[in-house]
């Protein structure tokens, strides 16, 4: 018997689940998204100057999961890309995450070398050390370095990004900004680091090119009139929105993007992304991305930079980007998850439905696991191939 499944949200989680349901279960899928395009936050397009931009901020694909890489490779070829970030520290752009080279650029070769030896003697070479661990060191020199990095790299950036002091956030936030005791200045060290050769939109278009998938953009879940019947619903939007915010709105941070396009035959930034961990009075934005360095458009005569201004999320006014990990949000989330557990015909998955920050590969992995462990068994499929 052919079933009809409604999938809400055409980002990575929703699109992968839709493809699996259509390809493996041979069931009809109606995939809706309130935006006018597929791809979720990974959506890319050309602007008026012909520069390929990522409308919702830079998306760099990296993973250590061969399964995720193999799956997506069915729908795209890849272009090698290794991401690098520079941060403005004391008037100079230095490698981030803070590493052994950064130490020498900031403190000078002699003093930086001495501090590097102290750090590697205590923590080892090639490891990533959370800044809070360094602040607990018995060495006063290491604590001094940790305080410097905390102040110049982490504190003001966190205040701008989250609108909260670091000690108000879950420790997992600080763990995402370690000190890398290595000369490797790549932002990621994953085994697979690539960009889709023809962009993310082309990847999504191939992913969803199946006769059993009906893609409808510009359609909101709440606008469905009830005339269509579905055997199952996969919801990848905000879980609190699904339940009408009955326990209150889950907190998020949003971002306002300011794109600046100018004539340029060469890149204007020191790296694809430049971070500004400076006080808001100096730079109200957190980072800027030069898209031509990300997309490989070396021969174009224009460049576009996207400057990011974090702001509070307001339901219906802007986009929810980053879940805010704190005790209040965890308490509220437990109530929504209890509500979700009572619904046998609805599956919740994805960054917004799980209220969890996922990298793109994690979103794909979550979708594949959700299909195999939750959706297929619910639809009485004994074996998934």
Q: Token match 């590493």: residue?
A: 99
Which band of pLDDT confidence, cut at 50, 70 and 90, is reported for residue 243? very high
Per the CB < 8 A criterion, the answer to whether 202 and 75 are in contact is no
Mean pLDDT of 133-148: 93
- pLDDT value, residue 302: 96
Could you tell me the CA-to-CA distances from 182 to 98, 100, 165, 189, 312 in Å, in that order?
Answer: 9, 6, 28, 11, 36
% of the chain residues with pLDDT over 70: 96
The CATH architecture of the domain made up of 4-38+208-250+323-378 is 3-Layer(aba) Sandwich (3.40)
- CA gap 302, 89 in Å, rounded: 28
Mean pLDDT of 228-241: 95
- pLDDT value, residue 382: 42
- CA gap 202, 199 in Å, rounded: 6
For β-strands 52-54 and 44-46, DSSP reports them as: antiparallel
- pLDDT value, residue 384: 37
Q: What stretch of H or E contains 196?
A: strand 192-196
Per the CB < 8 A criterion, the answer to whether 185 and 345 are in contact is no
Q: Which of 343, 349, 355 is nearest to 368 (CA)?
A: 349
Which band of pLDDT confidence, cut at 50, 70 and 90, is reported for residue 299? confident
Given a cut of 60, whether residue 383 has pLDDT beyond it is no
- pLDDT value, residue 176: 61
- pLDDT value, residue 380: 63
- pLDDT value, residue 148: 94
* pTM attached to this predicted model: 0.93
Given a cut of 70, whether residue 237 has pLDDT beyond it is yes
Return the C-alpha torsion angle 193, 199, 205, 208, nearest 10: 10
Given a cut of 90, whether residue 1 has pLDDT beyond it is no
- CA gap 3, 230 in Å, rounded: 8
Residues 6+ apart with CB under 8 A from 174: 130, 131, 132, 154, 166
Mean pLDDT of 135-139: 93
Residues 6+ apart with CB under 8 A from 47: 53, 259, 261, 304
Q: What stretch of H or E contains 70?
A: helix 66-72
Which band of pLDDT confidence, cut at 50, 70 and 90, is reported for residue 172? low
More confident site: 301 or 327: 301
Least confident of 170-179, 280-289, 371-380: 170-179
Which band of pLDDT confidence, cut at 50, 70 and 90, is reported for residue 316? confident
- Going across the sheet that includes 78-80, the strands are 61-63, 192-196, 78-80
Highest mean pLDDT among 8-22, 120-134, 286-300: 8-22
More confident site: 379 or 271: 271
Which band of pLDDT confidence, cut at 50, 70 and 90, is reported for residue 164? confident
Given a cut of 80, whether residue 51 has pLDDT beyond it is yes
Least confident of 91-100, 209-218, 285-294, 376-385: 376-385
Q: What residues form DSSP beta bridges with 308?
A: 257, 287
User: Can you state the percent helix, strand and coil of the chain, rounding each to 5?
Assistant: 35, 25, 40
Mean pLDDT of 152-174: 83
Domains in the chain: boundaries: 4-38+208-250+323-378, 87-180
Which band of pLDDT confidence, cut at 50, 70 and 90, is reported for residue 177? low
Given a cut of 70, whether residue 240 has pLDDT beyond it is yes
- CA gap 148, 154 in Å, rounded: 9
- CA gap 50, 185 in Å, rounded: 30
Structure tokens at 215: 């893609």
Mean of all residue pLDDT scores within the chain: 93
Q: What stretch of H or E contains 241?
A: helix 239-242
- CA gap 235, 355 in Å, rounded: 12
- pLDDT value, residue 225: 77
Given a cut of 80, whether residue 227 has pLDDT beyond it is no
Q: What residues form DSSP beta bridges with 274?
A: 86, 288
Per the CB < 8 A criterion, the answer to whether 231 and 344 are in contact is no
- pLDDT value, residue 261: 97
- CA gap 68, 83 in Å, rounded: 19
Which band of pLDDT confidence, cut at 50, 70 and 90, is reported for residue 123? very high
Q: For residue 318, which phi and psi values (nearest 5 degrees)? A: -145, -170
């Amino acid at each position: 018997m052919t079933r009809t499944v409604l999938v809400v949200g055409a980002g990575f989680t929703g699109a992968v689940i839709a493809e699996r349901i259509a390809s493996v279960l041979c069931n009809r899928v109606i995939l809706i998204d309130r935006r006018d395009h597929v791809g979720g936050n990974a959506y890319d397009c050309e602007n008026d100057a012909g520069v390929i931009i990522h409308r919702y901020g830079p998306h760099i694909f990296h993973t250590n999961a061969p399964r995720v890489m193999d799956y997506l490779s069915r729908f795209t070829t890849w272009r090698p890309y290794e991401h690098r970030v520079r941060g403005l520290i004391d008037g100079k752009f230095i490698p981030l995450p803070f590493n052994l080279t950064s130490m020498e650029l900031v403190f000078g070769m002699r003093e930086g070398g001495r501090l590097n030896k102290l750090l590697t003697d205590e923590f080892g070479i090639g490891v990533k050390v959370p800044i809070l661990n360094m602040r607990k060191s018995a060495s006063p020199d290491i604590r001094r370095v940790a305080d410097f990095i905390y102040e110049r790299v982490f504190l003001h950036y966190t205040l701008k990004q989250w609108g909260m002091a670091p000690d108000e956030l879950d420790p997992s936030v600080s763990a995402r900004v370690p000190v890398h005791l290595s000369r490797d200045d790549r932002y990621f060290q994953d085994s697979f680091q690539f960009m889709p050769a023809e962009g993310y939109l082309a990847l999504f278009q191939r992913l969803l090119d199946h006769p059993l998938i009906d893609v409808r953009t510009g359609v909101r879940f709440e606008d469905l009139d009830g005339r269509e019947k579905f055997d199952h619903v996969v919801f990848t939007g905000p879980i609190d929105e699904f339940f009408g915010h009955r326990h209150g709105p889950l907190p998020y941070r949003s971002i306002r993007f300011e794109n600046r396009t100018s004539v340029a035959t060469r890149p204007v930034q020191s790296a694809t992304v430049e971070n500004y961990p400076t006080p808001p009075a100096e730079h109200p934005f957190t980072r800027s991305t030069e898209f031509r360095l990300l997309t490989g458009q070396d021969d174009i005569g224009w460049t576009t930079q996207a400057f990011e201004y974090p702001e509070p999320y307001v339901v219906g006014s802007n986009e929810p980007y980053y879940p805010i990990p704190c005790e209040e949000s965890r308490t509220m989330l437990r109530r929504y998850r209890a509500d979700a557990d009572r619904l046998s015909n609805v599956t919740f998955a994805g960054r917004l439905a799980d209220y969890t920050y996922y990298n793109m590969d994690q979103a794909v992995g979550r979708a594949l696991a959700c299909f195999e462990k939750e959706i297929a068994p619910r639809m009485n499929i004994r074996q998934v191939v």
